[in-house]
Structure 1
Amino acid sequence: MTQSLTANWLSNSLICVTLYGFWGFLSKLALLRGLSAAQEASIQKLGFFMLMPLIMKPSSNEPTAAAPLLSRPKTALLSAWLSGACCAIASMFYSRAMAHGDAGAVSAVTASYPPITLLLGALFAGEELSKSKIGGSILTLLGAYLFTRR
């Protein structure tokens, strides 16, 4: 059971990383081909919302998928909404950065959010703050720094 869960999160993460790579490249390409940062971010979100109903159907292996959405804890609903709001705002800043910066450097810096997530998870969700996670966070920030150097 543990092995299948590990493979599941890892394979999903690797697919996500690959798609984020395309996201960064296609964002830059749209900006280079003549869209403003605001136009690119808006059209990007349009594509997001058009595709969501097709890919987000509840999975049969999710035990809570059948429960009505509004029966969920209000803090869970608020957290999910705030997550989306943060994503929308971050996307606008990402598009602005991509319009004026090097695609690799912008992608590296904007993808270096794990240390922030790690600290918030430790402070508010009781997640473990281990030496390896701290070391990985330092390497993440160092990698982003190296991408920004000429």
Structure 2
Amino acid sequence: MLGVVDETTSRRFQVTFDCADPARMAGFWAQVLGYVVQPPPAPFASWPEALAAWGVPAERHGDASAVVDPEGVGPRIYFQRVPEPKVAKNRVHLDVRAAPGLAGAERMAALEAEAARLVAAGARVLARCAPAPPLESGHLVLADPEGNEFCLD
């Protein structure tokens, strides 16, 4: 039957961000995730070369960017320029695992250190949610350079 997917089959996906500055956002999220800005396809040496060959007008060359997991495991993250600004809280956000296996004060110290690195890259810290018994898994809420919320946990 057309359109039916076997429930044992996983699907590849990408996460898409609407934004004002795709190149800036790609650079920021590459730092957050340990990804790289997606290189142009062969045989092109650069994105401007590829886009020109495909007939994309020069004024549209900055309309999109993407980052990819250099190990090919994680999803592609795509950034597309949109004219309107972000106006409300995200309904979906990324949780970035920055302190796996740590708990309590050690976990929060690791999260704070990662937050400081990301603030230097353009993030803002929005909230600190300290560990509370019975759980010892606090987290930090941050915003990327365009205000999209994400968590360090």
TM-score, normalised by the number of residues in structure 2: 0.25
Structure with greater strand share of residues: 2
Structure with greater helix share of residues: 1
TM-score, normalised by the number of residues in structure 1: 0.25
